[in-house]
Amino acid sequence: MPIPESQLERWSHQGAVASSQATHQSIRNVLDSTASPICGHDFDVYLQGSYRNYTNIRGDSDVDIVVQLNSTFQSDLSLLTRSEVNSYRATYQNAAYGWADFREAVLAALRSHYSRSMVLEGNKSIKILRGAISLSADVVVAIQYRKYISFGGTADQDYLEGLTFYALRDCRWVVNYPKLHYANGVEKNSPQRTGGRYKPTVRLFKNARMYMAERGLISRDLVRSYFLECLLYNVSDTCFSSCYVSSYVTILGDIIDALRRDDCKDYLCQNRLVPLFGTSPEQCSTSDVIKLINALLKLWNEW
């Protein structure tokens, strides 16, 4: 028998948000302070991940926060003409204040306020432990990344904004597009596309995944939340909202059928720039998705 509608409806609920907002505001206040070593620089502090995208569930805890320097940036010029590339290089010079300088200043500000023992350095982020703030936080210190569409000068340039940071232990630069991810998710969740059912369905799938992991039906790291959201982003809007969709039972069944039927290899991440499947740490494995879908189908049939 299918999973009951009442269970799916509970799984679609959003988790608490007050603590994540308080955590975000606390960190913002520290970095915005006139006493902060990054005071005077052009930077943004913003949420990313499930709390930013309204796809957080009860099991989510750590808050993902970006501290992004905008006055220094890296660029992808691959779409520009040769003359545009020459114009870009004549316009912009190497920055004197870079990512490493900015990261050290952010780290110093956080340790000065929350204490050294509560602020730890990781491979990709700075971890602030719970107790210093409402929820533990992973603070990604980044600089702006620009994927250029055209360049005719500082007053005539078009680019897609992302971020980049250096993964210390991996010894590599990581590029991501959290603002595009957010904007595309808002659009897909709109009344015109999915009738506001996209994000509740993402939460439903995340809760179902956690339910199976807690019972040993799948491994806990199988298709992490970011990849699961990107996977569902690629599913046709009609699976979420059409003339016959009236329940989460219908939505879940239609999505499972679509994922089993589709050739998913050309799926993109929700930012619509990066292929979802591949071999980099920022990509998902097709075999993992197949395992997850098979587990969901088994859960559906044996409930």
**What tens digit of pLDDT does each residue of 122-173 get?**
999 999 999 888 889 999 999 999 999 999 999 999 999 999 999 999 999 9
Out of 119, 145, 176, pick the residue that ends a domain: 176
- pLDDT at position 263 is 84
Same domain, 163 and 186: no
Q: What is the spatial distance between Cα 48 and Cα 140, in angstroms, rounded to a whole number? A: 10
pTM of the model: 0.94
Residues 6+ apart with CB under 8 A from 188: 194, 198, 233, 237
Residue 6 counted as domain residue = no
The total number of residues written for the chain in this structure: 303
Find, among 178, 171, 61, 59, the residue nearest to 127 by Cα: 61
> Which of 176, 206, 231 is the C-terminal boundary of a domain?
176
- For helices 198-214 and 225-233, what crossing angle results, to 10°? 140
Q: Are residues 85 and 234 in the same domain?
A: no
Q: Among 199, 216, 223, which Cα is nearest to 12's?
A: 199
Does residue 43 contact residue 101 with C-beta atoms inside 8 Å? no
Q: Is residue 58 in some structural domain?
A: yes
What is the domain range of residue 64?
Answer: 18-176
Same domain for 118 and 104, yes or no, is yes
| DSSP-assigned states of every residue in 239-251 | GTSSTT--SHHHH
Asked if residue 51 belongs to a domain, the reply is yes
pLDDT given at position 118: 96
- Averaged confidence pLDDT in the chain: 95
**What integer pLDDT is reported at residue 243 of this predicted model?**
57
- Per-residue pLDDT tens for 215-246? 999 999 999 999 999 999 999 999 998 655 67
d(CA 247, CA 159): 40
Q: Are residues 47 and 93 in the same domain?
A: yes
Do 172 and 196 reside in the same domain of the chain? no
DSSP for 74-86, written as a single string: EEE-TTS-HHHHH
Do 27 and 152 sit in the same domain of this protein? yes
Q: Are residues 221 and 150 in the same domain?
A: no
Query: In this predicted structure, what is the pLDDT of residue 61?
Result: 76
Tokens 């995340």 belong to which residue? 206
The per-residue pLDDT for 246 is 75
pLDDT of residue 242: 67
Map residue 166 onto helix, strand or coil. strand
pLDDT digits (tens, 9 = 90+) for 102-126: 999 999 999 999 999 999 999 999 9
| Number of domains composing the chain | 2
34 and 121 part of one domain: yes
Q: 3-class SS at 171?
A: coil
217 found inside a domain: yes
- Asked if residue 31 is part of any domain, the answer here is yes
Q: Tell me, what amino acid is at 4?
A: P
Residues 159 and 130 in one domain: yes
186 and 169 housed in the same domain = no
Residues 6 or more apart whose CB falls under 8 angstroms from that of 243 comprise none
Q: What is the pLDDT of residues 46-86, one digit of tens each?
A: 999 999 999 999 877 789 999 999 999 999 999 999 999 99
Of 176, 204, 234, which residue sits at a domain end? 176
Q: Tell me, what CATH number does 128's domain have?
A: 3.30.460
